[in-house]
Structure 1
């Protein structure tokens, strides 16, 4: 797969990144370089490799799952810039 200048322009627009026209060929080249690396990774045979989350076999520390009331409403709301009726008050963002 090859990225042309128009595709690079579209990706920059979608990412809301201002890219000058003279920088688009370099950006397209970078995209092509990244895609080439991804194609190399796709060629690696990983059929017999188990998925792992760490290079060392470690187990996460476990804690007892206990339900608590919390009862910290006043302390939590003291951090709010605007609290009303026991809730955080935020500006309306959807009309």
Structure 2
């Protein structure tokens, strides 16, 4: 699976996803895209070709997430040193 994502808190945002159904992740990606479409975050357009091509585009509703997601990213970047310190002190996952 090849994914290319360009989202610099942008107005012009495009997502390109190529899914090979021989790839195990193809079904999960399809389910996620269906859910995003049902939620109104992306639109879906099918091009009648062989093989069929499906295009997804972000909606204004999705774009309204730019500001809160940018704030979350800034918070994470600001607190990453503290998070790394806590991780270093934490017992190993599944540890006894």
TM range (shorter): 0.3 to 0.5
TM-score (norm 1): 0.33
Q: If each structure's strand is expressed as a fraction of its own residues, which one has the higher value?
A: 2
Q: TM-score, normalised by structure 2?
A: 0.33
Q: Which has the larger radius of gyration?
A: 1
